[in-house]
Structure 1
């Protein structure tokens, strides 16, 4: 988008596969409204959904004093930070917290099965991005964008993958894959245009377009053969 229009997009709508800290941070730093879902977003929207109190991301966190509270009410102190590097080279910071005394806890069998005291990791930056994303996605504007995404791009990919049975690219390499998908997009748009013209009773225009397209390809093939003959000579 930036290469084509020489600017960043103001609004971004994407599925949960793009809801990573790296993407959220990039959009935040470039002033984009990120209507991008994260993992378990759809699950959270279900009426019967109840958050698991034993998952680390659901523990109460005191931002002022930097500690967590486990389901039993025990304070978990900060013991350090672990850096995680992704395949793209982005580094995430995970804060580590450890309980002081888990032995004899009546909830231990439901909380964790390892020996010693429980240790958890929290990515505070990602949690902030997720909260902001949830606010945007659940807003009136967010509901509109989510509805449009399901209708516009998802329907096209459904047609291509299932009805046209195009599930794998035929070439390797970025440039060849780009060319492969470009031809597929052109064919899909022509097919859509022909269906619309047929519905409107304009079959004569389809036949004319077919003749023009055939003539162009024949001319191109003739010119290409002449060039090959010159090269061979």
Structure 2
């Protein structure tokens, strides 16, 4: 069951698709139940895809995806696999409160008034089942602070906030995303994956699956991907054959010209 704001509930499958940026070949496709989020399936996709590519002697270096696949867990997983992520973070991500600076070596924050907010504990947030770190100052630190009412609000006695456990992984990913290479990668992803999705849904009938069960849905998706890749292969072979024929034609012309040049001096010498 898929639920989207402002739209009716529907029985859907979630199609996850990976595409090679060099030739727009579908390298992996899988159907999942639609109640999950995209970022929950990235690890499964990556494990399956990496094994397949390595089996063909292909090296995978970069992972391009949209914001739906963003999570600290995914960034950390991709780094452990030796992959560079280019996945824009969610708009809600912050490396800490506004105006606070982070000290990586001592793992604490400094507030705008120069007071230290130390790390207190690590925990799992139940709402999203995500790993978090809590930072909290003591009451005496915040007493008498000139910006106390703005910083703490009405009821709080001390400054307390949580930050994702994977802050370092987020920051490294964000540096890549905001670089010139990251901007290029974003345009590359948009021109690679989106057209493939459009072809599958608009021209190959994947807007609806007329089967029962996720296993049958996967068969339909795999057959569609096979048909798509076969068309790409035939098109590529056609270009290769045409270019080979043109190359052979030019070779023959050059060979004839070379023979002609060699014959003419000999004829002149004989005369």
Q: Same fold per TM (> 0.5)?
A: yes
Change (3 A) 1:181 1:165: closer
Q: Distance in 2 between matches of 1:57 and 1:134?
A: 17
Report deviation, 1:147. 1.0
Higher relative contact order (CA 8 A, sep 6+): 2
- Look up the match of 2:196: 156
1:98 aligns with 2:146: no
Match of residue 158, structure 2, among 103, 117, 130: 117
Report deviation, 1:113. 4.8
**SS of equivalent to 2:79:** helix
**SS of equivalent to 1:37:** coil
Q: Please say if residues 101 and 109 of structure 2, whose CA atoms lie closer than 8 Å, have aligned partners that are also in contact.
A: yes
Q: Deviations over 1:69-102 (max 9, x none)?
A: 2344432233322234797xx8624233235326
1:178 aligns with 2:218: yes
1:40 aligns with 2:91: yes
Change (3 A) 1:164 1:112: farther
1:4 aligns with 2:52: yes
Change (3 A) 1:86 1:28: farther
Q: Please say if residues 65 and 86 of structure 2, whose CA atoms lie closer than 8 Å, have aligned partners that are also in contact.
A: yes
Change (3 A) 1:65 1:71: same
- Look up the match of 1:21: 72
Q: Please say if residues 72 and 107 of structure 1, whose CA atoms lie closer than 8 Å, have aligned partners that are also in contact.
A: no
Q: Deviations over 1:40-85 (max 9, x none)?
A: 39xx9xxxxxx9x9x6276211223332123444322333222347
Q: Please say if residues 75 and 99 of structure 1, whose CA atoms lie closer than 8 Å, have aligned partners that are also in contact.
A: no
- Look up the match of 1:146: 186
Q: Please say if residues 66 and 87 of structure 2, whose CA atoms lie closer than 8 Å, have aligned partners that are also in contact.
A: yes
Change (3 A) 1:95 1:172: farther
Q: Please say if residues 77 and 99 of structure 1, whose CA atoms lie closer than 8 Å, have aligned partners that are also in contact.
A: no
Report deviation, 1:27. 1.0
* TM superposition score normalised by structure 2: 0.52
Moved more, 17-26 or 139-148: 139-148
Report deviation, 1:181. 2.2
- Look up the match of 1:48: none
**SS of equivalent to 1:56:** coil
Q: Distance in 2 between matches of 1:58 and 1:172?
A: 54
Change (3 A) 1:191 1:29: closer
Report deviation, 1:122. 1.8
Q: Distance in 2 between matches of 1:153 and 1:190?
A: 17
Report deviation, 1:112. 3.9
Unaligned runs of 5+ in 2: 1-48, 234-271
Change (3 A) 1:111 1:170: farther
* TM superposition score normalised by structure 1: 0.58
